[in-house]
């Protein structure tokens, strides 16, 4: 049953530690009723596709994102943080094993019958020849070891927590990479849209210039009023400003795209001439538990399990600690005798540390760890609910954008027919030149809206990919 999704999330099967790892049951998490399928049905048997952007069938986009994954600074920073977390897991593992250290030291001491250094003897009027001085040298060479016996599993819980923290960061890196690639893809499509808007603005500006020149000529001849002439001038100034603003937006987007790939933020950036018609597709039904593959939820799962391990570790700090200590080496008053067996010394023993009174510090740490565990539990539940909410919202938004695009493509056909008809009627003298230009401008304004709707359609599909945790590849 899909209702077991949260149970699957919390199943711990990734480690081989000797510590006890009980599965957290569904009743301990929530009584959320998970549907067997989405309210809006979509795809069939699927797996997640890491390179989902290739389904847009845009080679320029593929090359851009390949460079983006290799050079983007944010992605590289997350990779470095993951490496740091991995070394933290290594450090926690090392606590389970004995530590060995070597040391060598030499010292010289001086003692005299005056009871204080010779320089002070002179100050007190005592002759230094009357003071007997004894010098003593001591040299030590030793190999030391210390090992905390993890009798209660405190260190093993710490190691388990560190490993789970590393895995949490590891999967968060996957999610952040997915999010950054999605945003870079949206930026690429925004540049294509912006270029189309600039082209349409240039056409409208040309129309405004033609109208202004015509009205300027008629105004000089006195065939039109000053009001009509001023209106044509206002239209021309507005179209020029609109064109400049659209070019500025386009250049800003191009600079952003170059800087994301660690290039100089220039306006030299090539994109495809049109937005893609090919989308990452899915078929009839996707099971609701596909959400368990989202890397951010997996990261939240490991964060929850890490908090649970830290809670257990905090409890074990209240118990006695046993340490095995030992040393082996030599000790001599003569440096040349340091390596001789006759001067060998060694020691061994067990230290017992039992916390008796620490003003409630350990108990407070235990309560803090328990609260952190409960917070992590609530965060996990909230993330699961948000994941389902996002998928339901984006499924509906994806469907709405698809229907909107289909309807507007019909409007574009009608608008183009009106534009073509206006040109023919103008050539036959049926309508005025102004009416023809208005039909032309309306057509290009509809093309602007169509470009925006196409981009929204693409963005909604990308949002849906994010909500599912990746693109889709079908299992045959």
Show which of 354, 378, 402 is a domain's final residue: 354
- Domain of 270: which CATH number? 1.20.1600.10
Whether residue 166 contacts residue 88, with contact meaning beta carbons closer than 8 Å, is answered with yes
> Are 453 and 410 contained in the same domain?
yes
Same domain, 13 and 132: no
Residue 76 to residue 299: CA distance in whole angstroms: 19
What is residue 41's predicted lDDT score, i.e. its pLDDT? 47
Question: Looking at residue 2, what is its pLDDT?
Answer: 39
Predicted pLDDT at 330: 85
186, 262: one domain? yes
Q: Give yes or no: residues 400 and 258 share one domain.
A: yes
Instruction: Judge if 377 and 419 occupy the same domain.
Output: yes
Q: Based on the domain organization, do 345 and 422 belong to the same domain? A: no
Residue 119 is part of a domain; what is its CATH number? 2.20.200.10
Q: What is the pLDDT along the chain (476 residues), one digit of tens a residue?
A: 333 433 333 333 333 333 333 433 334 444 555 555 544 444 444 455 678 899 899 999 999 999 999 999 999 998 998 888 888 888 888 888 888 888 888 887 776 655 556 555 555 555 555 556 667 778 888 888 888 888 888 888 888 888 888 888 888 888 999 999 999 999 999 999 999 999 999 998 998 898 888 888 888 888 878 888 898 899 899 999 999 999 999 999 999 999 999 999 999 999 999 999 888 876 555 666 667 778 888 888 888 888 888 888 888 888 888 888 888 888 888 777 777 777 788 888 888 888 887 778 888 888 898 898 889 888 888 888 888 888 888 888 888 988 888 888 888 888 888 888 887 887 777 877 778 788 888 888 888 999 999 999 999 989 988 888 876 654 44
Rounded to whole angstroms, the Cα distance separating 460 from 456 reads: 6
Q: What is the pLDDT of residue 111?
A: 67
* Cβ-based neighbours of 306, under 8 Å, separated by 6 or more: 160, 161, 162, 164, 165, 168, 376
What per-residue confidence (pLDDT) applies to 473?
58
**Same domain, residue pair 365 and 349:** no
pLDDT of residue 423: 79
> Where does a domain end: 329, 354, 379?
354
Model pTM score: 0.77
Residue 458, domain member (yes or no): yes
Q: What is the pLDDT of residue 48?
A: 56
In a domain, 240, yes or no: no
Domain-located, residue 238: no
Short-list 297, 302, 294, CA closest to 165: 302
Asked if residue 236 is part of any domain, the answer here is: no
pLDDT of residue 20: 33
The pLDDT value recorded for residue 139 is 81
Alpha-carbon distance of 315 to 369, in angstroms, equals 9
Residues 332 and 413 both lie in one domain:
no
- Whether residues 334 and 372 share a domain: the answer is no
Closest CA to 443 of 199, 145, 106, 195: 199
Does some domain include residue 401? Answer: yes
- The number of residues making up the chain comes to 476
Neighbouring-strand partners of residue 146: 99, 325
For 467, the 3-state DSSP assignment is helix
Q: Which domain holds residue 26?
A: 2-96+152-192+250-319+359-474
Question: What's the rounded Cα separation, in Å, for the pair 209 and 215?
Answer: 10
273 and 257 in a common domain = yes
User: Smallest Cα–Cα separation from 158: which of 92, 87, 86, 84?
Assistant: 92
Are residue 373 and residue 363 in the same domain, yes or no?
yes
Is the Cα dihedral 254, 259, 265, 269 positive or negative? negative
- Going from the C-alpha of 159 to that of each of 21, 167, 330, the distances in angstroms are 13, 12, 36
> Would you say 7 and 26 are in contact if contact means Cβ atoms under 8 Å apart?
yes
**Closest-CA residue to 272 (of 201, 190, 200, 202):** 190
Sign (positive/negative) of CA torsion 7, 13, 14, 17? positive
Cα(296)–Cα(300) distance, integer angstroms: 6
Pairwise CA distance, residues 72 & 22, whole Å: 40
Look at residue 181 in the predicted model and tell me its pLDDT: 93
Q: How many domains does the chain have?
A: 2
In a domain, residue 282? The reply is yes
The pLDDT of residue 182: 94
């Amino acid at each position: 049953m899909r209702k077991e999704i949260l149970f699957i999330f919390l199943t711990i099967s990734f480690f081989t530690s000797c510590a006890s790892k009980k599965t957290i049951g569904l009743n301990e998490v929530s009584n959320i009723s998970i549907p067997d399928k989405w309210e809006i049905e979509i795809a069939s048997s699927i797996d997640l596709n890491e390179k989902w952007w290739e389904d847009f069938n845009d080679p320029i986009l593929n090359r851009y994102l390949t460079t983006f994954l290799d050079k983007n600074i944010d992605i590289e920073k997350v990779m470095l943080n993951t490496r740091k977390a991995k070394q933290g897991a290594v450090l926690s593992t090392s606590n389970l094993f004995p530590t060995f250290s070597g040391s060598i030291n030499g010292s010289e001491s001086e003692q005299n019958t005056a009871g204080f250094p010779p320089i002070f003897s002179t100050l007190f009027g005592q002759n230094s020849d009357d003071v007997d001085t004894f010098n003593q040298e001591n040299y030590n060479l030793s190999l030391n070891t210390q090992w905390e016996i993890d009798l209660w599993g405190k260190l093993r819980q710490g190691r388990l927590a560190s490993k789970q923290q590393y895995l949490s960061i590891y999967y968060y890196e996957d999610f952040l990479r997915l999010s950054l690639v999605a945003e870079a893809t949206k930026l690429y499509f925004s540049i294509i849209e912006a270029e189309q808007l600039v082209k349409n603005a240039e056409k409208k500006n040309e129309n405004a210039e033609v109208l202004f020149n015509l009205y300027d000529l008629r105004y000089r001849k006195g065939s039109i009023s000053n009001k009509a002439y001023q209106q044509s001038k206002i239209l021309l100034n507005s179209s020029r400003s609109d064109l400049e603003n659209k070019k500025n937006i386009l250049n800003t987007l191009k600079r952003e795209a170059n800087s994301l790939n660690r290039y100089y933020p220039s306006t030299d950036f090539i994109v495809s001439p049109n937005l893609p018609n090919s989308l990452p597709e899915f078929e009839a039904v996707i099971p609701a538990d596909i959400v368990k593959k989202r890397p951010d939820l997996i990261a939240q799962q490991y964060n929850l399990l890490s908090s649970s391990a830290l809670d257990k570790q905090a409890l074990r700090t209240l118990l006695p600690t046993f340490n095995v200590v030992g040393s082996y080496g030599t000790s001599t008053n003569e440096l040349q005798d340091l390596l001789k067996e006759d001067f060998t010394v060694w020691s061994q023993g067990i230290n017992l540390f039992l916390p008796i009174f620490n003003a409630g510090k350990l108990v407070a740490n235990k309560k803090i760890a328990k609260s952190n565990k409960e917070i992590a539990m609530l965060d996990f539940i909230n993330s699961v609910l948000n994941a389902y909410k996002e998928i339901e919202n984006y499924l509906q938004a994806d469907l709405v954008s698809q229907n909107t695009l289909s309807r507007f493509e019909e409007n574009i056909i009608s608008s183009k027919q009106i534009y073509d008809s206006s040109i023919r009627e103008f050539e036959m003298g049926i309508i005025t030149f102004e009416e023809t230009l208005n039909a032309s401008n309306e057509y290009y304004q509809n093309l602007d809206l169509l470009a925006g709707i196409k981009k929204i359609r693409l963005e909604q599909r990308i949002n849906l990919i994010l909500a599912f945790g990746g693109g889709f590849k079908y299992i045959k």
